[in-house]
Structures are given as C-alpha cells and as structure tokens.
Amino acid sequence: KLMKTGLAAASVDHVAKLIRRMLGLAVQWDKLDRNPASRIELFNISNTVENYLNDDQLQRLVSVLKTYPAKEVALICMFLLATGCRVNEALTAKWSLVDRQNRIWRVSAENSKSGKSRAVPLSDTALDVLDQIGTEGKYDYVFINPDTEKPYQHIRHTWDRIREKAGMPWLRLHDLRHSFASMLVNAGCSLYVVQQALGHADSRVTQRYSHLSS
C-alpha cells in the first residue's frame, strides 16, 4: 500500500524497520510477549547510484558555479566538490574548527554521520572558498544565508537550478562527494586515504571506488 503512494522501496523499508523497532521495545519493556513485526519481509532493493563527473562535465559545473548569482550557495557546492564532505557537514561548519595554518577543517562528532570527529584536508580550492565567503569574524558558522543571517537548512532548490544550468539535471549534491573520491583515486591515492578523507567508518563502504583504481 505504501508503495502505491509513490514512496520508494527503501523508504517503505524504513517504515517497517521503525514498526519493528517500536514493537521490539514493547517486548523489552514487558508490554508484549513477542514482536509481531519481526518477520516482515523487507524489499532490500539496492538504490545506490553513483555518478562521476568527467573532465568536460566538471569544467561546465565549475564554470556555472563561478558565475552563479546566488554566490553563497555556489560556494557551498564548490566546497563540497573540493572536500568530499557531506552536505550537512558543510552547512554546520564553524570557523572555530577551521585551522588555516595546518590546512585542516575538523568535522565535529555531533555533525558527523559516523559519530566521530575527523580532520578534513583543505586544498587550495577549499581555502579559496573560505576566503570568498566573507563570514569569518562575523558569524560562528562558515556558510550563512544572507537573507536570514542564519546557517542554511538546505540548498536543494538552488542546486536544482544550478544543475539545470550546467546541463546535468541528473546530478545530485551527493555526487559531488563521489566525484571528489574519484579524483583522489585517479590521482593515485590509496583507498585507505579515500576512506579517511571521506570519513567512512567501515572500509567496505570505500570499496565501491575500487574499480576506479584500474
């Protein structure tokens, strides 16, 4: 029934998992003798999509980002491409965690998907973004919405317009992270380096990029 409402199989699985967890707690708290949802079969459909930018696509995207009117969002996108960080990690980045001298930006544990703090190397491009954003010394957060003077909650709508202008309507924000990883691999970095740069807690997640090393 949920599938018929338009939800993806993975989203439907999340609902089933939530029900299973709730009833599991009911058993744990002696409210139920058994979990009636324990045998619900999940779809377990793999929805992993990985898009990598080729040189031409990368140049087109960067060209759009450099001239796009919504400068702040364009710089966020450039930062994602230059660091391989997750969108939420960029939107919650604070100046207090940026170390220009050692060219390191630290992602706090509370904002990291793995729940662990990690150091992200800052390339020349990433440092250039920090130089251009103009919020240092004025705000705690790096990326500030000029209309609200508060950190961005999301940048989806502006990103939709950016990717359309670049002629790549299929490109997701998360694909910038994949492209960063592919650039590391193509530059000769080991999968261990890629794992550390992306902050993967499990090396098996990083193995998805192993085919690029050939």
* Residue pLDDT, tens place only, 23-37: 999 999 999 999 999
* Residue 170: predicted pLDDT: 92
Q: How far apart are CA 42 and CA 198, in angstroms?
A: 29
**pLDDT on residue 117:** 84
E-strand stretches of 53-207: 98-99, 104-107, 118-121, 144-145, 150-151
pTM for the complete prediction?
0.75
Band the pLDDT of 3: cuts 50, 70, 90.
confident
Q: Closest Cα partner for 37 from 53, 50, 21, 51?
A: 21
Query: HSE on the CB side for 147, CA within 13 Å?
Result: 6
For residue 1, pLDDT over 60 is answered with yes
Beta bridge partners of 94: 141
